[in-house]
Amino acid sequence: VGKKNLEVRPVAVNKGEIVKRILYRNPDSEFIFCAGDDKTDEDMFRALSLFPPGTTKATLDAPMSVTLIDGDDTPPSPSTPSESSWSTFPAVDLAIHKEAVFTTAVGHSSKRTLASWHVTTPQEIV
């Protein structure tokens, strides 16, 4: 997916999972700005949709990439979630406020995106 590329990668390796991993390890972050210009960036924008409607605080469950790297590399069994390695990684409360998260899509104005902001060229960001 993306710019006419074929990506072969584990499910836990995408821009959204990386963003979740960074936030999980840095829950005291006060500002987030992410910009992107292709389909692979939508995972990142989706991951930053942290706030349910009507809320101002966000909680983040342990991302798959943290549990697989820091855990025992065994995915949880659906029948025994309490015995899984994932349960050793608690959800974290994030210090960030909704107003301090900026997601920006770069490209044609008709482009569909999950980003909150849109610019047509990278120069508009700077």
Low-confidence ranges of the chain (pLDDT < 50): 72-85
pTM of the model: 0.76
**For the CA atoms of the chain, what is the radius of gyration?**
16
For residue 94, give both structure tokens: 């994030």
Supply the pLDDT for residue 7: 77
pLDDT digits (tens, 9 = 90+) for 40-74: 899 999 999 988 888 888 999 988 866 555 554 44
Residue listed under structure tokens 């025992």: 72
Residue listed under structure tokens 């490209």: 107
Supply the pLDDT for residue 80: 43
Supply the pLDDT for residue 11: 74
Do residues 103 and 115 make contact, with C-beta atoms less than 8 angstroms apart?
yes
